Amino acid sequence: MNPLQDPSILSQTHFAAVDWLIVALYLSISVFIGLKVKDYIKDMGDYIGAGRALGTALGVATMTGTEMGLITVMYSAQKGFTGGVAAFHIALVAGVVTFLVGWSGFIVAPLRKLEVLTIPEFYERRFDKKTRVLGGIMLTLGGVLNMGLFLKVGSIFIVGVAGLSHTGWALPAVMVILLLLVLVYTVLGGMLSVVITDYIQFVVLSFGLLVAVAFAVSTLGWGNIFDTVSQHMGRPGVDPLAEGGGFGPEYVLWMIFTAGLVSCAIWPTAVARALAAESPKVVKKQYMWSSISFMVRFMIPNFLGVAAFVYIKNHAPDLEAAFFPTQGEPTLDNLYAMPVFMGRMLPTVVLGIISAAMIAAFMSTHDSYLLCWSSVITQDIVAPLRKTAMSVKGRLKLTRICIVVIGLYILYWGLIYEGKDDIWDYMAVTGAIYFTGSFAVLVGGLYWKKASSAGAFLALISGLTAILGLGPVQQLLGFQMAGARVGLLTVLFSLTVLVVGSLTFPDREPKEV
């Protein structure tokens, strides 16, 4: 057997039985919370909006817990591993733009003032029911595709850090176990469960990542990290605008829009926290303080990915041969780089605590995303199409069923998807199916009186063109274009469609919200 294809290549880890015990204890606490919180669910406002009782501190913590999920850690580490220090630009634009959104209240404050539960609900208030239903469909389509690889990527972390085999049964088994745990307490507790567990996960995750960074700097040396990146990657490894690297001016502009504006002001799981806040004033404070965490959630994992690159280049010739072979394709997916690095660097017990923190991050993202897309199906697609009103019990039941169905889908999609895009780029493209059209409709609906229902409807449909940025789609159609360029063109296309559609087909009686 080729030693590089040996399943035991990941086995050199400090992860031991005591670490499994720490992880199991933490997961047990999370499930227990889900079981207890279900008794406080009275209606859909409690289930998907946590009773609109989030203050600034809890709002910041739960937003950070959701948006800094294990998927975020993994795709940000992957960007650091492949792009070097230049990947830090993603963190910087995320922090700056989130602060500006909080300072201005752009989009999020007016939405909270309207007291809507979901973004598509705003579409109906401002436009009409068919726009709400289409908005819900586009949101669900883009959102569910977007999270299609979350489960697989989170499971790759566990397989890598615990030294399990990267071939065979290990990865599918971990995916099934994690999905079952998330489904149990999300189905039972809804947003109340999400908020409470997110707060705990925020504390554990923050501690774990800081400890990991401290060990990385101590092990590798601060100066050596940057020297190694410069030596092997050159200027593109430190300058995101440099030619010949993985980024460039077009990509940076796309990040200002996606990692910055979309992540905090348009993406539903973040906006859900704004809609659950006590008031528009609290929303603005929450976002200004959250700007720090929005920056950190990218930068720390970016750094861990850079550290994994340095460690593999300087200290692990077996891994270097697997990730950077002199001939042929790599035998290990670069998503394994950061967890394998942590498994070899961190000592037992510390490794268990940090792994529990990472799994906490995994759960905090999955519960929020599953709840978000499921509630949109119930509130914005099924309920508006029914001739008779849905009861509270009926809405809760349907939302819970949708959570399970979406969970099964992401298990299936994670097992079959074979695309080669970086995970972050995959997410940006699939999410763009929703957020490019939604950006046009939200801005037009909130800030332009002449925006019409026909223009909004057409703008939402135009977001489908973003799917052309996916590698498998481009291969099928026989063309090649950077995903960032496709995304930027789709944003401009959606805005143009909104304006032209609204002026061509104006509403007879514009609605005021």
Per-residue pLDDT tens digits for 13-48: 889 999 999 988 887 876 676 566 555 545 444 444
Instruction: Band the pLDDT of 513: cuts 50, 70, 90.
Output: low
| pLDDT surpasses 80 at 2 | no
Lowest mean pLDDT among 43-57, 201-215, 224-238, 379-393: 43-57
Q: What are residue 277's DSSP bridge partners?
A: 54
439 within a domain of the structure (yes/no):
yes
C-alpha separations of 128 from 41, 108, 131, 445, 509 in Å: 30, 21, 6, 12, 12
pLDDT at 250 over 80: yes
Phi first, then psi: give them for residue 418, nearest 5 degrees.
-120, 15
Mean pLDDT of the chain: 83
Residue scoring higher pLDDT (64 or 99): 99
Confidence of residue 79 (pLDDT cuts 50, 70, 90): very high
d(CA 267, CA 188): 24
Q: pLDDT value at position 45?
A: 47
Q: Does residue 496 fall inside a structural domain?
A: yes
Amino acid letter, 290: S
Domain of residue 120, residue span? 50-399+421-504
Residue 186 located in a structural domain? yes
Q: What is the DSSP code string of 78-142? A: HHHHHHGGGGHHHHHHHHHHHHHHHHHTTTHHHHHHHT-SSHHHHHHHHT-HHHHHHHHHHHHHH
pLDDT exceeds cutoff 60 at 60: no
Quick check: is 41 in a domain? no
Residue 247 vs residue 199, higher pLDDT = 247
**Amino acid letter, 173:** A
CB-hemisphere CA count at 13 Å for 29? Answer: 16
Element counts in the chain: helices (H) and strands (E):
23, 0
The CATH number of whichever domain residue 378 belongs to comes to 1.20.1730.10
Residue 25 lies in a domain: no
Q: How confident is the model at residue 458 (pLDDT cuts 50, 70, 90)?
A: very high
Residue for token pair 């750094």: 303
The pLDDT of residue 171 is: 87
Domain count, the chain: 1
Cα angle 79, 85, 88 (rounded to 5 degrees) comes to 70
**pLDDT on residue 51:** 43
Q: Does residue 335 fall inside a structural domain?
A: yes
pLDDT at 63 over 70: no
Residue 77: pLDDT over 80: yes
Question: What are the tokens at 380?
Answer: 């914005």
The tens digit of pLDDT for each residue in 402-446 reads 888 998 998 998 888 776 778 888 888 888 999 999 999 999 999
Q: E strands within 251-404?
A: none
Q: Tell me the percentage of the chain whose pLDDT exceeds 90.
A: 37
Confidence of residue 127 (pLDDT cuts 50, 70, 90): very high
Q: What's residue 20's pLDDT?
A: 92
Q: Is 81:240 a contact under the CB 8 Å cutoff?
A: no
Model confidence at 4, pLDDT cuts 50, 70, 90, reads very low
Is 414 within the bounds of a domain?
no
Quote the pTM value: 0.85
Q: What is the pLDDT of residues 106-119, one digit of tens each?
A: 999 999 888 887 78
CB hemisphere CA count around 97 (13 angstroms) = 22
Contact 309, 91 (CB under 8 A): no
Choose the most confident range, by mean pLDDT, from 2-11, 215-224, 290-299, 353-362: 215-224
Q: What count of residues does the chain have?
A: 513
Q: What is the pLDDT of residue 48?
A: 44
Task: Give, in degrees to the nearest 5, the angle at Cα 270 between 264 and 271.
Answer: 90
Residue 406 lies in a domain: no
Round to whole Å and give the CA distance between 481 and 465.
Answer: 13
Q: What is the CA radius of gyration of the chain?
A: 22
Task: Please state the separation of Cα 263 from the chain's center in Å.
Answer: 8
Instruction: Please give the Cα distance from 201 to 276 (Å, whole number).
Output: 19
